[in-house]
Amino acid sequence: MATLTRPPRPVLDVSHTPTVVFGNRSIIWWGQWGMMAIEGTMFAIFIATYFFLRTRETDWPPGFALPAMKWGSINLVILVLSCIPNAMIKRKAEKGQLQAVRLGLIVMVVIAIVNCGIRALEFPSLNCVWDGNAYGSATWTLLGFHTFHLVADTLDSLVLTVIMFATPIEGRRYQDVSINAIYWYFIVVTWAATYLVIYWAPRWV
């Protein structure tokens, strides 16, 4: 073992620091929040666009029936309630409890798939088309944008579930579950905003 001969110097030894951390200590948390900031800004700006277009019309919706409330509202209820298992799975993951996490993931995937199904029913019940008036374009695009995130998280959760069952588990996997739970909260919050805009703005504004 070759050594350099030189006077000893002070060192800061970090070998005892953890390798698995959660919350804002973890860089994946930061990456996730960065992504949510970007996508959240997209939502905010698009909603502003929706209302800008509103100011250019006297009737709203212009020449269409109001969007039917049923499926969107069911969606909202399910998503809000799903925060409970979501919170639980996040807590369990941060404690490294494998069985609970595996079960929780299956529950969340089922909820996500059900939501995707409801979403498929929502589009036709909007009572407008994307190529007939800017209102239709804005409504479809907003719903489509949220749907993109919903589907992405559904697939994310599915992949994560398979991984939690089929590959060697290490701390990182629990970090991923915790972060995926945050992404699910994002889906819920952005749905609340989207739902209010699509279904209630035509009725109130």
Partner 1 sequence: MTPVEQAGTASVVEVDSLQRLEQTWKDPGGFWGWFTHVNHRSIGKRFMVTAFAFFLAGGVLAALMRLQLSRPENHFLGPDLYNQIFTMHGSTMMFLFAVPMMFEALAVYLVPLMVGNRNICFPRLNAYSYYIYLFGGLLLYAGFFTNTGPDVGWFAYVPLSGPDFTPGKRADIWAQMITFTELSALAVAIEVICTTFKMRAPGMSLNRIPLFVWAQTIVAFMVIFAMPAVMLSSTMLLLDRTVNTHFYNPAEGGDAILYQHLFWFFGHPEVYIIFIPGTGIVSTIISTFSRRRIFGYTAILLSMVGTAFVGFGLWVHHMFATGLPQMGESFFTAASLMVVIATGTQVFCWLVTMWTGKVVLKSPMLFALAFFFIFIMGGLTGVLMASVPVDLQIHDTFFIVAHFHYVLIGGAVFPLFAALYYWMPKITGRLLNEAAAKWHFWLFFIGFNLTFFPMHILGLRGMPRRIYTYPSAMPWRNLNLLASTGAVLMTVAVLIFIVNFFWHVKHGEIAGNNPWGAATLEWATTSPPPVYNFAELPTVNGRDALWDASPQQPIVTGLDDDCRQVLMTHVMDADPDHRDEFPGPTPIPIIAAIATSIFFIGTIFTAKAFFPGIILTGIALLIWYWPKRQASLRRRKREIWQR
- Rama region for 127: left / alpha / beta (φ>0; ψ in -120 to 50; rest): left
* CA atoms 15, 20, 24, 26: torsion sign: positive
Least distance from partner 1 to the Cβ atom of residue 174, Å: 9
Among candidate residues 121, 136, 147, 119, the one with its CA nearest the CA of residue 65: 136
Q: Which is nearer to partner 1, 82 or 194 (CB)?
A: 194
Least distance from partner 1 to the Cβ atom of residue 171, Å: 5
Q: Which is nearer to partner 1, 38 or 84 (CB)?
A: 38
Least distance from partner 1 to the Cβ atom of residue 97, Å: 12
Q: How many CB atoms within 10 Å of residue 190?
A: 22
With H, G, I as helix, E, B as strand and everything else as coil, classify residue 158: helix
Q: Which is nearer to partner 1, 20 or 103 (CB)?
A: 20
Q: Which is nearer to partner 1, 84 or 124 (CB)?
A: 124
Residues at the contact surface with partner 1, assessed by CB under 8 A? 1-4, 6-22, 24-27, 30-31, 34-35, 37-39, 41-42, 45-46, 49, 52-53, 56-57, 62, 96, 130-138, 140-141, 155, 159, 163, 167-173
Least distance from partner 1 to the Cβ atom of residue 137, Å: 4
Q: Which is nearer to partner 1, 19 or 99 (CB)?
A: 19
Q: Which is nearer to partner 1, 80 or 155 (CB)?
A: 155
Kindly report the three-state secondary structure assignment for every residue of 70-121.
Answer: HHHHHHHHHHHHCHHHHHHHHHHHHHCCHHHHHHHHHHHHHHHHHHHHHHHH
Least distance from partner 1 to the Cβ atom of residue 193, Å: 15
Least distance from partner 1 to the Cβ atom of residue 77, Å: 29
156/18 Cα distance (integer angstroms)? 27
* Cis ω for the linkage preceding 7 (within 30 of 0): no
How many alpha carbons lie under 13 Å from residue 76 in its C-beta half-sphere?
17
Residue 70 main-chain phi, psi, to 5 deg = -55, -60
